[in-house]
Amino acid sequence: MSPEPHAPSYWAATAGPEPAGVQSLAGDRRAEVAVIGGGYTGLAAAYRLAGTHGLDTVVLEANPIGWGASGRNG
């Protein structure tokens, strides 16, 4: 039995390093919008809110970006 609850994904194994600027949350952080989840939908929402609408946006994700279901589709 694998120690992880999910089988490793091809995407996670070949995606390369995390983008620059990814950091763990330490202490308090204020933002206009907090997006919960770093999958396709969460990242698209955060990108749109920050880029198009200029809102101070943070993405909260417990695992590496794309680790969950988004990284296991195909």
pLDDT digits (tens, 9 = 90+) for 58-72: 999 988 887 777 666
Instruction: Provide the number of structural domains found in the chain.
Output: 1
The reply to whether 17 falls in a domain is no
Does 43 map to a domain?
yes
Region of residue 44 (phi > 0: left; psi between -120 and 50: alpha; otherwise: beta): alpha
pLDDT digits (tens, 9 = 90+) for 35-50: 999 988 999 999 999 9
Structural domain range at position 54:
30-65
What SS3 class is residue 71?
helix
Query: Whole-prediction pTM value?
Result: 0.72
In the prediction, which pLDDT does 6 show?
A: 65
Residue 60 lies in a domain: yes
Kindly state whether residue 19 falls inside one of the protein's structural domains: no
CA dist 67 → 17, 30, 40, 52, 61 (Å) = 13, 25, 10, 26, 9
